[in-house]
Amino acid sequence: MLVPGAVPLPLPAPRRRGRVLLIGAALSLAAALAAGAGIVYVNRSPLSLDERAAAAGPAPTAAATPPTPAEAANAALKAQAAALLGNDERAWLAAVDPARGKLRGQYRSMFRSLRGLGVSHFDYRTSSPRLDAKRGMLSVFAEVAYCFSTDKCPRAKGNESDGPPTITQKLTFKKVGTAYLIWDLTTKKSRDQQQPTPWESGDLVFRSGQRVTVAAGRGERKYLKQVLAAAEKAARVNDRFAVMVGNPQRRYRVYVAGPEQWKTWYGGITDKWVIGYAIPLSDSGSDVVLNISAVRSDSEVLATTMQHELGHVVTLGGAHRTSTGTGDMWLEEGIAEYIGWYPRSATESWRRSAVRSWLDSGKRPTTIAPRAPGDKAGPDASDAFYGLGHFTADCLARKYGQGALFTFVRLYLRESRDLDPASQEAFGVPFATIDKTCMAWIRDKV
């Protein structure tokens, strides 16, 4: 099974035997003003303004309607979000029931992780309130919208944007005195919903370079230096290509996953052949997650994987795409492999032998744009598919120029142009022409 945006473990080439490789707004509190009737007397000698005020006595006090439980809970969430953005941990924790020590610890970790990642937008929108007045408990579903300062932050969902990234929580509030405080927090593990995020999942430690921030759980902090060095080098390569597709990055973000985080973060990965992936955060950007167990002992695998995944960040991240699925993976993965191995050519890739075997088989590809292998495909098919994509990108760069290749990537992947118009604009010829030209080139080079 292929995971879009992921790097499968490269199979060992003959010369490398043994390699195993939410927005929300809190509900405003309503206030009702009491209106009274009276008689106005007019003195023949008009009083001064000060005299009138003294004669009138103190102004009547407006009678405020107490907030409903839902309003009180939303007010607590609004104050909590403001505390996070204001870097006030005590006020952030004030929304959580003091008697819930473990839950407060979870929220403390969440606060510090979000601050460490540079949170710049955090907002709640709640729905489906259920009140148990007898127990003084209120349950709501909350959508949390968030952004980080190094990403763009689309504030609203519409025709041109999916809005900011969001997560979903089920929150239970308990009445404590006159306030409603968070008593329980529940989230569901979901690959489709991309939960839990790393910042929801315990303490994170950070290490930052000039272009990259690397985060890990405390158990993987010993790998931060190694990963940051590879990520900084990969960032320098990718910065050039980011400009070419019109998607320059303020900063890259990489998460180092240990065995448990790998099976949990963003819904988790169970495919044993995947060693890293880039996950899009709506239109705001993309995160990279690295399976440290699979790359820590091989610097070359770490380097190519890092360049490949940051390649997804620059070519796909932040784009509002009108089409998704596996039909575009030949170019998505091909350009990421091209970046991952750059400046080396496809002929130096470990996947070359897999491509040769595919071309020599009875199921040889007849186009540079084949469909991705199905869910039951093995690692050999994945290796060959990624390798063919690499050879395709290499061919387009060599035959038509690197600038034309990345113009094509911008038009087709980022701007959702159809294949033929994108090919005509980028290469000056129909897609059928480049398809035929590059299939012949690949057969010759492989």
pLDDT tens column, 253-269:
999 999 999 999 999 99
Residue 166: alpha-carbon gap to chain centroid? 9
Average pLDDT over residues 153-159: 78
Percent of the chain having pLDDT more than 70?
85
The mean per-residue pLDDT over the stretch 386-396 comes to: 98
Number of H helices, E strands in the chain: 14, 12
Average pLDDT over residues 165-185: 96
Place of tokens 């939410």: 22
Give the pLDDT of residue 389.
98
Per-residue pLDDT tens over the stretch 77-128? 999 999 999 999 999 999 999 999 999 999 999 999 999 999 999 999 999 9
In whole angstroms, give the CA distance from residue 389 to residue 89: 48
Farthest CA pair distance, the chain:
112
Residue 2: count other Cβ atoms within 10 Å of its Cβ: 21
Place of tokens 């230096």: 225
> What's the average model confidence in pLDDT over 177-200?
94
Q: Pairing between strand 252-257 and 285-291?
A: parallel
Q: Give the bridge partners for 211, in sequence order.
A: none
Give the helix/strand (H/E) hosting 71. Answer: helix 69-85
Name the burial class of residue 363, with classes exposed (0-12), middle (13-18) and buried (19+) by CB atoms within 10 angstroms of its CB: exposed
Encoded tokens for 222: 């010993």
Predicted pLDDT of residue 13: 45
Alpha-helix runs per DSSP H in 122-184 = none
**145-157 mean pLDDT:** 89
The mean pLDDT value for 15-20 works out to 34
Domain ranges of the chain: 69-187, 321-446
Name the nearest CA neighbour of 124 among 139, 138, 142. Answer: 142
Region label for 303, one of left (φ > 0), alpha (ψ between -120 and 50) or beta (otherwise) = alpha
Distance of alpha carbon 417 from alpha carbon 419, whole angstroms: 6
Specify the pLDDT at position 399: 98
Alpha helices in 180-328 (DSSP H): 224-244, 259-262, 292-295, 299-316
* CA dist list (Å): 353 to 25, 40, 308: 56, 99, 20
Predicted local distance difference test score (pLDDT) of residue 169? 97
Amino acid at position 274, single letter? V
Q: Distance between CA 254 and CA 96 in Å, rounded?
A: 30
Mean pLDDT, rounded, for 6-25:
45
pLDDT, residue 283, reads 87
Please check whether residue 331 is in contact with residue 409, taking contact to mean a CB–CB distance below 8 angstroms: yes
Q: In angstroms, rounded to a whole number, what is the distance separating the alpha carbons of residues 445 and 371?
A: 22
Average pLDDT, the chain: 87
Q: What is the pLDDT confidence band of residue 64, given thresholds at 50, 70 and 90?
A: confident
Q: How sure is the predictor about 57, in pLDDT bands with cuts at 50, 70 and 90? A: low
Write phi, then psi, for 326 (nearest 5 degrees): -95, -5
CB 230 within 8 A of CB 266: no
pLDDT at 2: 63
State the pairing for strand pair 6-8/204-208.
unpaired
pLDDT, residue 290, reads: 98
Question: Which residues lie closer than 8 Å to 306 by C-beta, 6 or more apart?
Answer: 227, 230, 231, 233, 234, 254, 276, 288, 290
Buried b (16+ CB within 10 A) or exposed e, 40-60: eeeeeeeeeeeeeeeeeeeee
Across the range 14-25, mean pLDDT stands at: 33
> Which phi and psi angles does 184 have, rounded to 5°?
-155, 150
Q: How confident is the model at residue 63 (pLDDT cuts 50, 70, 90)?
A: low
Of these ranges, 18-32, 232-246, 316-330, the one predicted with the greatest mean pLDDT is 232-246
- What is the DSSP annotation of 399-428? HH-HHHHHHHHIIIIIS---HHHHHHHHHS
Query: At residue 30, does pLDDT exceed 80?
Result: no
Fold (CATH) for 69-187: Nuclear Transport Factor 2; Chain: A, (3.10.450)
Q: What is the pLDDT of residue 154?
A: 85
* DSSP line for 375-388: TT--HHHHHHHHHH
Q: Rounded CA gap, 33 and 41, in Å?
A: 24
pLDDT at 433 over 70: yes
